Structure 1
Amino acid sequence: MVDSGVVGDGGVTTDRWGPQPPDGRAVVVALHGRGQDRDAFRELVEALPLGDLPVLAPRAAGDTWYPLPFTAELARNEPHLTQALAAVDAAVQEAVDAGVPLERVVLLGFSQGACLALQSFLTSPRRYAAVVALTGGFAGPPGTAPAPPDGAAGVPVLLATHAEDGWVPLWRVQETADLLASAGAPVTLLVEPGADHVVTPLARRAVADVLERALA
């Protein structure tokens, strides 16, 4: 069963799967991809090795967080990008209000949701258990990058992608890995061959490895 409720401006709702947050050893805040409907995203998340962790899954109006590619000028994706970042904050705050410390919150996203997760972490770093970005990078046009964030040191980050992905260019994923590493985050970068825009068994194993270390 999916429990849904409004969690902020812009028509964003949240789905809640699994046990109530205090009953789990951690919580996953999961962010869907562009145009990815509720059932498809839940299927993707439930295929990940998350065990019985509760999931909070904010959902954007129209299943899209912001209208243009993540490599567009930031201002051209406003006010949607700011509203999307607020939705992430609201979901994280819901977990904290339920008694889950930040260091037991996993921020996870796929595709546009992975870009949003990374943008949230870079602009408002928190001491998460881990940040998992399945095909994503920071937002902004080529030749631009945010400053290395204070507060990211020690937070494990997984970046998984395909070398020829048509939606998220490899150079931006690599730039994101370098930026986070320069801020002191232990980064795992998984680049698989091909252009598939999917989460592979190898990526799922990488998720398991990162979470096992982060939540030990």
Structure 2
Amino acid sequence: MHEYNIVEKGTAPGKAKKAIILLHGRGASAEDILQLAQYFPGEDTYLAAPQATNHTWYPTSFIAPEEENEPWLSSAVEVVKRLIDETAQHIPLNKIYLMGFSQGACLCLEVAARFANRYAGIVAFTGGLVGEKLKPERYNGNFEGTKIFIGTGDKDAHVPLARVKESVEILKKSGAAVHLEVYKDRPHTIISDEIEKAKRLLFS
């Protein structure tokens, strides 16, 4: 099970006007993903990134049978939900951004969809909802128009485009305004065009 280990930067939550919660990918760290925040408006912003135990949120592919990723997946969801709830004690949800890359992007979307609400915005750099087959009954709440940016490659080796598109439809049904950007032959990474488009969509 994951320890509750949060790396924080920026303005203290009691004084911040907004927050960005960032989720790292497999094999990476909280410190790694926090570097992504430098590309987004950061004045009066609380930055928080949980650290996955052993640098991995769940052991196998996000589209593997669910039992292969438990209990780690459920534990990861609990960690992120706890961080959102604790941040929301100081900063309203509609001023809290959720952001992640790869495995962190999948976890970001999964938590957001399970507990849909009016967030400031959501950014998923290469990710989709988790599970061998998606279960719409698992997702609750309403995004109330929350803007979501998802960027992905058309032939990503880890995140099938079909699953990304399936995830987009579920997120839309939960009230999100989703912008999907598909890049031809893009490697499994974050590119500057994604950052700029996410910034314009969510932070302008």
TM-score, structure 1 normalization: 0.86
Aligned to 1:96: 88
The answer to whether residue 94 in structure 2 is matched with residue 86 in structure 1 is no
Q: Is the 8 A contact 2:10 2:47 kept in 1?
A: yes
Counterparts of 1:86-125 in structure 2 under 5 Å? 86-97=78-89, 99-125=90-116
Counterpart in the other structure of 1:144: 134
Provide the identity percentage.
31
TM-superposed CA distance for 1:132, in Å, is 1.0
Offset of residue 38 of structure 1:
4.1
**Is residue 203 from structure 1 mapped to residue 194 from structure 2 by the alignment?**
yes
* Pairing partner for 2:144 from 132, 153, 158: 153
1:174 correspondence with 2:145: no
**Residue number in structure 2 paired with 1:192:** 183
Please report how far the alpha carbon of residue 183 of structure 1 lies from its aligned counterpart in structure 2 after TM superposition.
Answer: 2.3
Contact 1:109 1:133 in 2 (8 A): yes
Displaced runs of 4 or more, over 4 A:
none
Structure 1 equivalent of residue 41 of structure 2:
50
- Tell me, what secondary structure is at the counterpart of 2:63? coil
Query: Are the aligned partners of 1:36 and 1:63 in contact in 2 as well (CA < 8 Å)?
Result: yes
Aligned to 2:65: 73
User: Which amino acid is the alignment partner of residue 113 of structure 2?
Assistant: L
Q: How far 1:47 moved relative to its partner?
A: 4.3
Range that drifts further, 204-213 or 34-43: 34-43
Segments of structure 1 that go 5 or more residues without pairing to the other structure are: 1-8
Q: 1:64 aligns with which of 56, 64, 75?
A: 56
Q: Is the 8 Å Cα contact of residues 105 and 124 (structure 2) preserved in structure 1?
A: yes
TM-score normalized by structure 2?
0.91
User: 2:85, 2:170 → 1: CA distance?
Assistant: 26
Q: 1:22 to 1:207 in 2, by over 3 A?
A: farther
